[in-house]
């Protein structure tokens, strides 16, 4: 793929709006509206199967050299798309719900894209062919001509919940019974909210992006379905043969009062239940990565770090390892997907129990999305704080990890906290029984 640094500044939102009007399948891997570091990628491609044979170990042959200052884009060509929960659960041996609500994964082979380096302001045009034309198109997009996203209707749109708050609370108690019986140590219980009718995915994403900027946000449209995400969780990152995962377990809402906001973060940092839940998933991910990494290379780089976003505080840990010789994307997914942060532990037992409890598929929610590079680099986020839109409806998944120490009312409120911003972007509100603050 040919590349070129552009002399002019380009507005990412303007480029995306122009490109999505011209192409059926598009992506925007978005570091956020006010990002001052990291990369964003906007582009298009041709539908493709999941690239399972890409080598990830450092000995793999044809990796392009970085510039002397390491400033070239980490993505040089490859694939963008999503991998759904049921595909991974089925491959792992768990029972799954097969229905139109779980339509599988979707990927495109990148044909052209622009890379935005938010730390320097530089923009790269990258294309498999016709680089001059693509660079000219990108350079033209210097500002957003369109007005803000269209105003929402005065009346909130109707939301259909898979479970009532009372039903979800009862499922939490069933999870605690399973934990008491020794069938699982932790279960990531989830539910679903559906807003039926037509939606403009681009307008919805602009509202979501404005309200809840995230370092792993994104808009991916493939085959008529759109994934809109404000994900704060990096599932897998690989570069130079080093694989990392950053599971999130533990959530508190932000507060407008700085003192109360700091107190919420401090309470999360010391919460025994949240720390136990987080470390269980760290242990699970250490085990998963050990299946495809060199013996002795697994490290816990960070444990119980607090990361704060516009809507929530999160408890985040980081695990890494060196890919063993011969490790491929397919092998990595077989070892690590679905993510332990979205299943619980032990993983297979947890997925089997959740199939019985949840009453329907998760679909793209609890899967992952992002890019896989030709050179074995990858950056994949968890599909959380996300919306999936098709011609008939918009769907939001939300949930949380259940341990023996879980309190049903707090877990119900955590789901409401997580789903509130995506629903608001759709012009909908949480059903009344779910609409509470996390500490009530």
Strands (DSSP E) contained in 183-257 are 186-196, 216-222, 225-231, 234-239, 242-245, 248-253
Tell me which H or E stretch contains 45: strand 39-48
Tell me which H or E stretch contains 180: helix 165-180
Q: Which of 191, 141, 219, 116 is nearest to 425 (CA)?
A: 219
Q: Which of 380, 246, 361 is nearest to 305 (CA)?
A: 246
Q: Select which of 233, 274, 358, 411 is catalytic.
A: 233
Neighbours of 183 (CB within 10 A): 15
In whole angstroms, what is the distance from residue 306 CA to residue 264 CA? 11
* Known catalytic membership, residue 273: no
Neighbours of 435 (CB within 10 A): 12
Q: Which of 141, 303, 330, 103 is nearest to 222 (CA)?
A: 103
Token digits of residue 44: 């298009």
In whole angstroms, what is the distance from residue 190 CA to residue 168 CA? 9
Burial class (CB in 10 A: 0-12, 13-18, 19+), 269: middle
Token digits of residue 286: 């250490």
**Cα dist from 28 to 121, 342, 371, whole Å:** 17, 24, 11
Query: SS3 for 290?
Result: helix
* Known catalytic membership, residue 233: yes
CB 93 within 8 A of CB 349: no
Q: Select which of 249, 277, 347, 414 is catalytic.
A: 249
- Length of the chain equals 440
Residues 6+ apart with CB under 8 A from 100: none
Strands (DSSP E) contained in 49-170 are 78-83, 106-117, 123-127, 160-161
Catalytic residue numbers? Answer: 233, 249
């Amino acid at each position: 793929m040919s590349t070129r640094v552009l002399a002019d500044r380009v507005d990412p939102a303007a480029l995306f709006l122009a490109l999505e009007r011209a192409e059926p399948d598009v992506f925007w891997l978005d570091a956020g509206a006010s990002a001052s570091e990291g990369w964003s990628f906007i582009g298009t491609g041709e539908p493709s199967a999941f690239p399972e044979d890409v080598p990830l170990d450092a000995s793999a042959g044809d990796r392009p050299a970085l510039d002397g200052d390491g400033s070239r884009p980490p993505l040089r060509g490859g694939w963008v798309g999503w991998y759904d929960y049921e595909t991974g659960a089925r491959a792992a041996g768990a029972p799954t719900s097969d229905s139109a609500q779980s339509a599988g994964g979707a990927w495109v082979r990148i044909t052209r894209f622009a890379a935005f380096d938010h730390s320097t302001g530089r923009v790269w045009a990258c294309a498999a062919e016709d680089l001059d034309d693509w660079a000219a198109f990108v350079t033209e997009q210097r500002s957003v001509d369109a007005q803000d996203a269209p105003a929402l209707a005065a009346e909130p749109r109707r939301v259909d919940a898979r479970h009532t708050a009372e039903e979800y609370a009862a499922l939490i108690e069933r999870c605690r019974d399973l934990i008491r019986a020794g069938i699982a140590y932790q279960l990531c219980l989830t539910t679903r909210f559906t807003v039926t009718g037509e939606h403009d995915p681009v307008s919805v994403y602009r509202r979501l992006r404005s309200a809840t900027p995230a370092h792993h946000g994104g808009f991916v449209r493939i085959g008529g379905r759109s994934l809109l995400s404000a994900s704060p969780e990096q599932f897998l990152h690989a570069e130079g043969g080093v694989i990392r995962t950053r599971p999130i377990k533990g959530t508190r809402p932000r507060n407008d009062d700085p003192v109360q906001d700091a107190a919420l973060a401090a309470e999360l940092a010391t919460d025994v239940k949240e720390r136990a839940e987080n470390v269980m998933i760290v242990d699970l991910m250490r085990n998963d990565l050990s299946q495809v990494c060199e013996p002795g290379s697994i490290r816990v780089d960070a444990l119980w770090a607090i990361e704060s976003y516009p809507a929530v505080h999160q408890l985040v840990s980081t695990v890494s390892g060196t890919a063993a010789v011969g490790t491929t994307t397919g092998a990595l997914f077989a070892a690590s997907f679905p993510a332990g942060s979205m299943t619980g532990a032990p993983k297979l037992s947890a997925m089997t129990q959740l199939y019985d409890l949840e009453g329907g598929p998760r679909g793209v929610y609890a899967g992952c999305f992002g890019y896989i590079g030709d050179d074995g680099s990858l950056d994949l986020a968890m599909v959380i704080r996300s919306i999936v839109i098709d011609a008939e409806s918009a769907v939001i998944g939300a949930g949380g990890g259940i341990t023996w120490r879980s309190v049903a009312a707090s877990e119900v409120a955590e789901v409401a906290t997580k789903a509130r911003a995506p629903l608001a972007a759709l012009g909908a509100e949480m059903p009344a029984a779910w609409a509470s603050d996390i500490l009530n």
